[in-house]
């Protein structure tokens, strides 16, 4: 394994999310160094590993892993709630080299990035579907996401974000692998927290509070 820190790009549609993941990795800069933060754009730096947070981006075939690959380099690690084995395998078959559950802490993320960089394929042990994973993660999710400051859990915020983009309940369920009943439950609890009662009001709230995707890139300066 290289004596130099592994160069990582963190990718998601939202600046808050990529910044939150980068902050989790910051204490481990002797092993991994985040050199690029991308919201809504593909990495451009010469990086070793791309870490993709699936917040608001969909799961499985709805996740654009292919766009992040460049002749096999960098290697892609997906960081997701849904670790259902068939979803993991479909994602890996489309080019991901590693797959991490959202329950993973910073140390586990770093260990996976290092293994993937060394050429290993890393899959989660066991696996749970999106409904159970979201239930387990509520109140325990690490990092940041739009709407967190207003009391929304990560899954509630993701559902509101997808509503703000015009997706129907069925489309949200298909993209996130949540059951339609879970989607409806997240909508009800989110609406109570943000003080709205109708979909049009939720869309307006999302537009006003940063729940539409960003498009930005931040390249981190490296010490020589």
For residue 165, give the CATH number of its domain: 1.10.10.10
Mean pLDDT across 42-55: 88
Looking at per-residue pLDDT, the higher value among 118 and 71 belongs to 118
Packing angle of the helix pair 180-194, 154-164 (nearest 10 deg): 90
The pLDDT-based confidence of 102 (bands split at 50, 70, 90) is: confident
Residue 205: the pLDDT is: 97
Range(s) of the domain holding residue 163: 130-208
The answer to whether 142 touches 24, Cβ cutoff 8 Å, is: yes
**Do 153 and 71 sit in the same domain of this protein?**
no
Q: Residue 39: which residues within 8 A CB-CB, separation 6 or more? A: 12, 13, 14, 15, 17, 18, 213, 214, 215, 216, 217
Would the pLDDT of 135 be above 60? no
**Quick check: is 168 in a domain?**
yes
**Do 29 and 105 sit in the same domain of this protein?**
yes
Looking at per-residue pLDDT, the higher value among 68 and 17 belongs to 17
pLDDT in tens, 78-96: 998 888 888 899 888 888 9
Residue 141: the pLDDT is: 56
**Do 117 and 204 sit in the same domain of this protein?**
no
Residue 79: the pLDDT is: 93
ω into 185 cis (within 30 of 0): no
Residue 214: the pLDDT is: 86
* Domains identified in the chain, total number: 2
């Amino acid at each position: 394994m290289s004596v130099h820190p592994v160069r990582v790009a963190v990718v998601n549609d939202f600046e808050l999310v990529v910044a939150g993941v980068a902050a989790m990795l910051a204490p481990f800069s002797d092993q991994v160094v985040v050199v690029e933060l991308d919201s809504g754009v593909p990495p451009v730096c010469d990086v070793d590993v791309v870490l993709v947070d699936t917040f608001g981006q969909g799961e499985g075939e709805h996740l654009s892993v292919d766009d992040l690959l460049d002749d096999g380099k960098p290697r892609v690690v997906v960081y997701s709630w849904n670790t259902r084995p068939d979803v993991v395998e479909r994602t890996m078959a489309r080019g991901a080299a590693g797959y991490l559950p959202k329950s993973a802490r910073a140390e586990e993320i770093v260990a996976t990035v290092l293994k993937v960089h060394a050429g290993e394929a890393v899959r989660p042990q066991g696996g749970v579907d999106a409904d159970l994973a979201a239930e387990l993660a509520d109140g325990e999710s690490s990092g940041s996401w739009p709407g967190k400051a207003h009391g929304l859990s990560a899954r509630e915020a993701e559902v509101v974000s997808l509503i703000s983009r015009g997706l129907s309940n069925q489309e949200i369920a298909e993209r996130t692998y949540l059951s339609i009943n879970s989607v409806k439950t997240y909508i009800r609890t989110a609406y109570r927290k943000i003080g709205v009662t109708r979909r049009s009001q939720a869309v307006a709230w999302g537009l006003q509070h940063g729940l539409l995707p960003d498009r930005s890139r931040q390249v981190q300066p490296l010490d020589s």
